[in-house]
Amino acid sequence: MTKPAATSEPYTTVIGLEVHVQLQTNTKLFCGCSTKFGAPPNTQVCPVCLGLPGSLPVMNREAFQLAMKAALALECRIAPFTKWDRKNYFYPDLPKGYQISQFDLPFSSDGWLEVVDPKGAFARKVGIIRVHLEEDAGKSMHDEAAGTADTRIDLNRAGTPLCEIVTQPDLRSPQEARAWLNELKLLLVYLGVSDCNMQEGSLRVDANVNLHIQRPDGSVAKTPIVEIKNMNSFRSVERALTYEAARQYDEWQATGAELGKIPKQTRGWDDPAGVTRAQRHKEESSDYRYFPDPDLVPVTVSEAQIATVKASMGEPPTVLRTTLAERWKISAYDADVLVNQGRELVAYFEDLATRVGEGKVASNWLQQDVLRTLNERGEAIEAFPIRPDALADLIGRVQRGDFDTSRGREIFAAVLASGRSVADVVASLGIAAVGDDELIALCKQLIAENPKIVADVQGGKEQAAAGLIGQAKKKNPNVNPAKVRQTCVDLIKAM
């Protein structure tokens, strides 16, 4: 189901994305060097990834498995026979002088991933042209401030396994693009394929964008496609696309240049300045002279292998949202929030909901109290000290009426701060259920002290009794506010 994005611009923005994700393997694609992020330069290199004479690549089985998972989750067709090709070009971060990639026979193709805005602003099914596997290049660093004429090359990253995901130009707004990227990230994180961390470079995005402009006579003018690079976050992607669409429209109005008349341009996003800038036009169009890599043998994939991989994948986020909502009778919105937090939080939720016996309550506590705490502390749910059994205990007491929700929150905070059990904290706070007689006595006291409120209630304004709750709590913090209000109303009516 695809809904067109509502737009007030006089054009349609047409966006395709090219995403590179680093696969979460222990070692590189063709050698046994570690892929851990942040190591000192040139400490995770060997003859293979350095491209030393005589070195040979051998494919990492786990990388291929993860790539297959990603492709299957993106509903792609897996090729029964796939091969590896050399993409030949010279650059100092590419020590062999070629990148091992896939050219005409990628291991997967023809899939899709849908993004649905939970607030209903858009729904877009984005086609995936291909997903292929290739090795990453190293890093070149130029320190202009140091004023040297050299560029420094660190080859730690060279050889890291990358999945390249190329979409059809199906996206129709910068907002859709950002949302789709979030959905892709969520999916790949769920699968354990990649941690999709743009800051650490494990996810990189380039965007291709042009405009379809409706002319007064009904014909459509198409602007030349621009490739945008150097976007460092999903927010940058949205900002860059927004800027570029407006820029292309201005340019079209000024020059009328159309698709096909000028070559595809590459522009870099300058985040601080908030603009895209044309990059230096290369003196030769790249002739990569692709040919099958003779050092690697082809890979065959059987239906049985595909089935095994599928069986190991677990539910993807889209399915999980529906499953959770139906199973626990929570809203689509709530399901979305929980699923977006990741597999571990969903597991926590389901454990909690099972114990509590109800989904909505569990969801509320998770969203309002647990998530808030996790965000404040920058922690992951796995490290959260209050486990589902303890939280279920606390919620159970609230449900039983031992104390109200707001009291429950205080206990929650105290448990978090002290590390003591719920029972301990309850006892130490002197929380005990207030017996009926005690409650009645208290209410009678309040009634005696508040003739105006009594008069209001007697005059028909029952809600005025709520004004007694605060006073009741001051006398005895353990009272249940609802019970106080009801008891007072009953007593006043009986007067």
Partner 1 sequence: MTLARKDVAKVAMLARLALSDVELETMTSELSKIVGFVSLLEELDTSTVAPLAHPLDTQNAFRDDVPRPSLSTAEALQSAPRHDGECFLVPAVLGESGAA
Partner 2 sequence: MQPAELSAVDLVAAIRQGDLTAVQCIEAFLDRVARLDGSINAFLKVDREGALATAAAIDARRKAGQPLGALAGLPVAVKDALCTRDLPTTCASKMLAGFRPPYDADTVARLRAADAVIVGKTNMDEFAMGGSNENSAFGPVKNPWDLSRAPGGSSGGSAACVAADMAPVAIGSDTGGSIRQPAGLCGITGLKPTYGRVSRRGLVAFASSLDQIGPMARSAADCALVLETIAGHDPLDSTSLAVDVPRYTELLEQPLTGLRIGRVRDHYAEGLDPEVGKGVDEAFAVFEAAGATIHEVELPHAKYGVPTYYLIAPCEASSNLARYDGAHYGHRCDTLRGGFDSPLVEMYCRSRGEGFGPEVKRRIMLGTYALSAGYYDAYYAKALTVRRLIRQDYLDAFERVDLIGGPVSATPAFKLGEKTGDPLAMYLVDLYTVATNLAGVGGISFPCGFTKGGLPVGFQLQGPALAEPLLLRAADRFQRLTDWHLRRPKQIA
Where do contacts with partner 2 occur on this chain (CB under 8 A)? 47, 50-59, 86, 88, 90, 92, 95-98, 149, 151, 153, 155, 283, 287, 289, 291, 294-297
Alpha helix (H) residue ranges in 192-288: 234-255
Pick the closer one to partner 2 by CB: 154 or 170.
154
Angle CA 416–417–419, to nearest 5: 65
Residue 141 as a binder of partner 1 (CB under 8 A): the answer is: yes
Q: Smallest gap, in angstroms, from Cβ of residue 292 to partner 2?
A: 8
Q: Quick one: what does residue 56 bind among partner 1, partner 2, none, with the CB cut-off 5 to 8 Å set by partner type?
A: partner 2
Pick the closer one to partner 2 by CB: 153 or 309.
153
Pick the closer one to partner 1 by CB: 142 or 461.
142
* Distance from chain centroid for Cα 26: 22
Q: Quick one: what does residue 8 bind among partner 1, partner 2, none, with the CB cut-off 5 to 8 Å set by partner type?
A: none
Beta bridge partners of 86: 100, 291
Q: Quick one: what does residue 448 bind among partner 1, partner 2, none, with the CB cut-off 5 to 8 Å set by partner type?
A: none
Q: Smallest gap, in angstroms, from Cβ of residue 352 to partner 1?
A: 34
Within 8 A by CB and 6+ apart from 480, the residues are: 401, 403, 404, 434
Pick the closer one to partner 1 by CB: 61 or 261.
61
Residue 67 as a binder of partner 1 (CB under 8 A): the answer is: no
Q: Tell which one of 41, 396, 467, 481 touches partner 1 (CB under 8 A).
A: 41
424-to-373, 394, 477 alpha-carbon distances in Å: 21, 11, 17
Q: Is 136 helix (H, G, I), strand (E, B) or coil?
A: coil
Q: Smallest gap, in angstroms, from Cβ of residue 346 to partner 1?
A: 27
Q: Quick one: what does residue 54 bind among partner 1, partner 2, none, with the CB cut-off 5 to 8 Å set by partner type?
A: partner 2
Q: Quick one: what does residue 333 bind among partner 1, partner 2, none, with the CB cut-off 5 to 8 Å set by partner type?
A: none
Q: Smallest gap, in angstroms, from Cβ of residue 321 to partner 1?
A: 31
Q: Quick one: what does residue 98 bind among partner 2, partner 1, none, with the CB cut-off 5 to 8 Å set by partner type?
A: partner 2
Pick the closer one to partner 1 by CB: 71 or 361.
71
Pair of tokens at residue 422: 């719920």
Q: Are strands 203-214 and 226-231 parallel, antiparallel or unpaired?
A: antiparallel
What phi-psi label fits residue 173: left (phi over 0), alpha (psi between -120 and 50 degrees) or beta? beta
Phi/psi for 399 (5° steps) reads -60, -35
Q: Tell which one of 3, 4, 7, 26 touches partner 1 (CB under 8 A).
A: 26
Would you give the DSSP letter of residue 6?
A: P
Residue 308 as a binder of partner 1 (CB under 8 A): the answer is: no
Q: Is 353 helix (H, G, I), strand (E, B) or coil?
A: helix
Q: Are strands 77-78 and 81-82 parallel, antiparallel or unpaired?
A: unpaired
Judged by CB under 8 A, the chain residues 174 through 203 that form the site for partner 1 are none
Residue 276 as a binder of partner 1 (CB under 8 A): the answer is: no
Q: Quick one: what does residue 96 bind among partner 2, partner 1, none, with the CB cut-off 5 to 8 Å set by partner type?
A: partner 2
Q: Is 40 helix (H, G, I), strand (E, B) or coil?
A: coil
d(CA 34, CA 32): 6
Q: Tell which one of 12, 13, 22, 27 touches partner 1 (CB under 8 A).
A: 27
Q: Smallest gap, in angstroms, from Cβ of residue 172 to partner 1?
A: 25
Residue 292 as a binder of partner 1 (CB under 8 A): the answer is: yes
Q: Tell which one of 54, 120, 218, 294 touches partner 1 (CB under 8 A).
A: 294
Q: Smallest gap, in angstroms, from Cβ of residue 109 to partner 2?
A: 22
439-to-21, 286, 413, 435, 472 alpha-carbon distances in Å: 62, 84, 27, 6, 9
**Length reported for the chain:** 495
Residue 104 as a binder of partner 1 (CB under 8 A): the answer is: no
Residue 62 as a binder of partner 1 (CB under 8 A): the answer is: yes
Amino acid at 397: R
d(CA 243, CA 302): 46
Q: Smallest gap, in angstroms, from Cβ of residue 349 to partner 2?
A: 44
343-356 helix and 317-328 helix, angle to the nearest 10 degrees? 10
Residue 219 as a binder of partner 1 (CB under 8 A): the answer is: no
Residue 190 near residue 66, CB atoms below 8 Å: no
Q: At which residue do the structure tokens 């009594």 appear?
A: 454
Residue 67 near residue 163, CB atoms below 8 Å: yes
Q: At which residue do the structure tokens 């909505």 appear?
A: 360
Q: Which residues bind partner 1 (CB under 8 A)?
A: 25-27, 31-34, 40-47, 50, 58-64, 83, 87, 89-94, 99, 137, 140-142, 144, 148-155, 227, 229, 266, 279-280, 284, 286-289, 292, 294, 296-300
